[in-house]
Structure 1
Amino acid sequence: MTPPLDLSRRQFLTAASLTAAAALLAGCAPGSTPGTGPQTLQFWHLLSGGDGVTMSQLLQKVNDAQNAFRIRPTVLAWGTPYYTKLAMAGAGGRAPDVAIMHATRTVGWAPGGLLDPWDLDRLADLGVDDSTFPKPIWEKGFVGEQMFSVALDAHPFVAMFNTDICDAAGVLDSDGALQQTTSPEEFLEQLRAIGGQASGHALSYGYLGDGAQMWRLFYTLYSQHGSPIELPAGGKAVMDKDVAVESLSFMRTLLDGEIAAAQADYGTAVAEFSTGKSGMLFTGVWELRTMQNAKLPFDATMIPTLYGTPAVYADSHSFVLPHQTHADPVKRDLTYQFVADMLKGSFGWAEAGHIPAFLPVTESPDYADLLPQAHYAEAAKHVVYDPTAWFTGSGSNFQGEFGAAVQNVLLKGDDPVAAIDRFEERVNTMLAQPNPADPEGTFGS
Structure 2
Amino acid sequence: MSFDHSGHGGGLRMGRRGLLRWGLAGAGAVAAPGLLAGCASPASPSGSSSLRVWDLFSGGDGVLMDEMLETATSGADAFSVDRTILEWGPSYYTKLAMAAAGGRAPEVAVLHLSRLAGYAPGGLLDPFDLDVLAEFGVGEEHFAPAIWERAKWDGEVYAIPLDTHPFIVFYDKEIADQAGLLDSEGELAPIGSPDRMLAASEALASAQNGTGVLFGHVGDQAQCWRLFNGLYAQTGAKWVLPDGGEPEVDVDAAVRVITFMTELFDGDRNPNHLDYAGAMAAFQGSRGAMIFSGEWELPNLRSTGRPLGAAPFPTIFDQPAVNADSHAYVLPRQSRVDEARRREAHRFVATMLKASYTWASAGHIPAYEPVIADERYAELDPQASYAGASEVAVLDPPNWFTGSGSNFQNQMTQPMQSALLGNMSPERAVEQMVSASASMLDQPNPVA
Q: Could you say whether these structures have the same fold, taking a TM-score greater than 0.5 normalized by the shorter chain as the test?
A: yes
- Per the TM alignment, residue 199 of structure 1 is displaced from its structure 2 partner at its CA by 4.4
Q: 2:442 aligns with which of 432, 436, 439?
A: 432
Matched, 1:269 2:304: no
SS of 2:50's partner is strand
Q: C-alpha displacement at 1:36, in angstroms?
A: 8.3
Whole-angstrom distance in 2 between the partners of 1:177 and 1:328: 51
Q: Tell me whether 1:213 sits opposite 2:223 in the alignment.
A: yes
Distance 1:39 1:123 in 2: 23
Comparing 292-301 and 352-361, the one that deviates more: 292-301
Could you tell me which of 130, 141, 151 is aligned with 1:141?
151
Q: Does 1:248 align with 2:258?
A: yes
Q: 2:225 is matched by which residue type in structure 1? A: W
Structure 2 residues without counterparts, runs of 5 or longer: 1-10
| Cα distance change on mapping 1:144 and 1:198 into 2, 3 Å | same
Is 1:81 matched up with 2:85? no
Aligned to 1:302: 312
Residues 48-95 of structure 1: per-residue CA shift (max 9 Å, x gap)? 111111111111111113445211211111101111111111112321
Determine the C-alpha separation between the residues in 2 that align with 1:117 and 1:125.
16
Name the amino acid aligned to 1:420. V
- Aligned-pair distance for 1:296? 2.0
Letter in 2 for 1:18: W
Q: In the alignment, is the contact (CA less than 8 A) between 2:30 and 2:91 conserved in 1?
A: no
Q: How big is the shift at 1:8? A: 6.7
Q: How many residues align?
A: 432
- Within a 5 Å distance, the mapping from 1:32-431 to structure 2 comes to 40-431=50-441
TM-score (norm 1): 0.92
Give the partner amino acid of 1:397: N
CA distance in 2, matches of 1:287, 1:16: 37
Residue 429 (structure 1) shift: 1.2
**Per-residue CA shift, 1:402-433, capped at 9, x if unaligned?**
12222211112521111111110111111122
Question: Any gaps of 5 or more consecutive residues in structure 1?
Answer: 1-6, 439-445
| Alignment match, 2:7 | none
- Separation (CA, whole Å) in 2 of partners of 1:186 and 1:19: 51
**SS of residue paired to 1:185:** helix
* Greater displacement, 252-261 / 128-137: 252-261
Secondary structure of the 2:61 match is helix
Change (3 A) 1:175 1:229: same
Cα distance change of structure 1 residues 73 and 221 upon mapping to structure 2, 3 Å threshold: same
1:22 paired to 2:26: yes
Provide the alpha-carbon RMSD of the alignment. Answer: 2.3
Q: Report the Cα distance in structure 2 between the residues aligned to 1:177 and 1:272, rounded to whole angstroms.
A: 23
SS in 2 for 1:94: coil
**SS in structure 2 opposite 1:412?**
coil
CA distance in 2 between counterparts of 1:344 and 1:36 reads: 25
> Against the structure 1 CA distance between its residues 33 and 352, is the aligned structure 2 distance closer, same or farther, given a 3 Å change threshold?
closer
CA contact (8 A) 1:14 1:112 kept: no
Change (3 A) 1:223 1:88: same
Q: CA deviation at 1:209?
A: 1.6
Deviation track 1:371-415 (CA, whole Å, cap 9, x = no partner) reads 111100010100000011111000110011012222211112521
- Tell me the distance in 2 between the aligned counterparts of 1:225 and 1:411: 24
Q: Which amino acid in structure 2 is aligned with residue 20 of structure 1?
A: L
Equivalent residues of 2:213, 2:290 under 8 A apart = yes
**Residues 167, 409 of structure 1: alpha-carbon distance in 2 compared, 3 angstrom cutoff:** same
Amino acid of the structure 2 residue aligned with 1:98: V
- Check conservation: 1:14, 1:91, Cα contact below 8 A: no
Distance 1:365 1:33 in 2: 35
Larger CA deviation: 263-272 vs 426-435: 426-435
Displacement, 1:254? 1.2
Cα deviations across residues 300-331 of structure 1 (Å, max 9, x unaligned)? 00111111210000000000111111122221
Q: Letter of the 1:160 partner, please give it.
A: F
State how far apart, in whole Å, the 1-side matches of 2:361 and 2:35 are: 33
Alignment-mate amino acid for residue 77 of structure 1: E
User: Alpha-carbon deviations, 1:3-46, whole Å to 9, x = none?
Assistant: xxxx9783665433223173698889999976687751111111
Query: Residue type of the partner of 2:19?
Result: A
Which TM-score applies when normalising by structure 2? 0.91
Distance 1:392 1:192, change over 3 A: same
Q: Distance in 1 between matches of 2:117 and 2:143?
A: 20
Cα drift, residue 200 of structure 1:
3.7
Q: Which amino acid aligns with 2:26?
A: A
